[in-house]
Amino acid sequence: MSILLPVGHLLGSEYDEATGEATQRVRVGPDVIHLDGSRFAVWSLAHGTSTDLPDGADARDALLEDGLLASVSPASIEEFARGHRLVPLMLGLGNLPESPDVYQIGLPGHPLLHVSAAVFDVFRWSPVEDDLWSAGLATAGRLGTMEPVALLDELLSVVHTLLAASAVCLDTAA
């Protein structure tokens, strides 16, 4: 089964004098793309769901074509990971004293999420890697307990939680 993942970092809205409407600006790589209301709604919904998005097939298809959505299946994990990177938007707060294998992500004094050691390692080291595949290889090497595909599969199983909390965004590879 494939999951849909939003690609890009929301920069906020901008009034378009030509159309008289506000558009939402999303940065993908070095480019800023303006989304109308229906495309933005579908892109936003993709942050919190791992299933197909209802009512918005045209917008969904346009976002897939433009690279603002990615469809990832178990067979395409490596291809996706080689073309994308994970960008932390919050802080890694470390592990819990009472549960050393559970790590926190959030803001100082306000942990928002708890993740495994493997997911946390990808989260904290992904900014220094060119792509998610390289981050998975490096983490697998450091931990020595997982193959990169299994590690990335674990990450993808919780990525919507990270995206919905705005703890990360996905971007194109460097």
| Higher pLDDT, residue 49 or 43 | 43
Buried b (16+ CB within 10 A) or exposed e, 132-153: bbbbbbbbbeeeeeeebeebbe
Indicate the pLDDT class of residue 55, thresholds 50, 70 and 90.
low
The pLDDT tens digits for 111-151 are 999 999 999 999 999 999 999 999 999 999 998 878 889 99
pLDDT at 85: 97
pTM value is 0.91
pLDDT of residue 57 exceeding 90: no
Q: What is the DSSP letter of 128?
A: G
Q: What's the average model confidence in pLDDT over 36-48?
A: 90
